């Protein structure tokens, strides 16, 4: 059973990582055009961000459902009902959406494409300690790892 939980955790954490890297370049790539159009008063920054969010959410909407459909039946969960599949797919979708928003935030904070991608990779690597993916978060864990485990998504 523990092996099953580890495999399911890897699939769900993959949703967060893949969506954050898919979104991190959105703002830095479009920033020169956006700043020119905002100066020309074609639209406001909030309209740009709202449109970007809507388009990216609709673009990446099907990815978690395709991944959950292909992984659910191969993991061999003890209860194989449609309701349990929908719970698993919803967990994957929510994790993917939060990863998408995290990547969007990192791209907004760092204006440069390379810097945004590197900071996204660094923060995900640090936060994966908190999830127990790369470090033991049990009783013998380092105090820094214990603090990171409290704030990790």
Q: What is the pLDDT of residues 28-39, one digit of tens each?
A: 888 888 888 888
Q: How confident is the model at residue 20 (pLDDT cuts 50, 70, 90)?
A: confident
Return the pLDDT at 79: 79
Binning pLDDT at 50, 70 and 90, where does residue 1 land?
A: very low
pLDDT at 2: 45
What is the percent of the chain with per-residue pLDDT over 90, rounded to a whole number? 0
**Whole-angstrom Cα distance, residue 128 to residue 62?**
25
Q: Cα separation of 27 and 98, whole Å?
A: 17
Taking residues 95-112, what's their average pLDDT?
Answer: 87
Which band of pLDDT confidence, cut at 50, 70 and 90, is reported for residue 52? confident
- pLDDT band at residue 129, thresholds of 50, 70 and 90? low
pTM for this predicted structure: 0.75
Whether pLDDT at 135 is above 70: no
Closest CA to 75 of 16, 9, 145, 137: 9
| Whether residue 90 has pLDDT greater than 80 | yes
Q: How far is CA 105 from CA 20, 26, 27, 109, 123, in A?
A: 9, 10, 9, 6, 12
Q: Please compute the mean of the pLDDT values over residues 97-112 and round it to a whole number.
A: 87
Question: Is 12 or 70 the better-scoring residue by pLDDT?
Answer: 70
Q: What is the pLDDT of residues 53-66, one digit of tens each?
A: 888 888 788 888 88
- The tokens of 99 are what? 């990863």
Domain-wise residue ranges, the chain: 2-110
pLDDT score, position 17:
84
Residue located via tokens 């590197």: 118
């Amino acid at each position: 059973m523990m092996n099953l939980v580890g495999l399911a955790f890897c699939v769900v954490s993959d949703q967060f990582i893949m969506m954050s890297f898919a979104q991190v370049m959105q703002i830095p790539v479009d920033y020169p055009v956006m700043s020119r159009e905002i100066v020309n008063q074609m639209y406001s920054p909030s309209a740009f961000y709202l449109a970007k969010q809507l388009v990216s959410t609709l673009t990446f909407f099907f990815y978690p459902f395709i991944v959950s459909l292909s992984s659910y039946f191969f993991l061999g969960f003890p209860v194989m009902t449609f309701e349990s599949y929908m719970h698993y797919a919803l967990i994957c979708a929510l994790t993917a959406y939060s990863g998408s928003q995290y990547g969007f935030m990192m791209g907004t904070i760092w204006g440069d494409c390379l810097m945004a991608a590197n900071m996204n990779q660094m923060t995900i690597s640090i936060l994966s300690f908190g999830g127990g993916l790369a470090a033991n978060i049990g009783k013998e864990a380092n105090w820094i790892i214990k603090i990171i485990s409290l704030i990790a998504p």
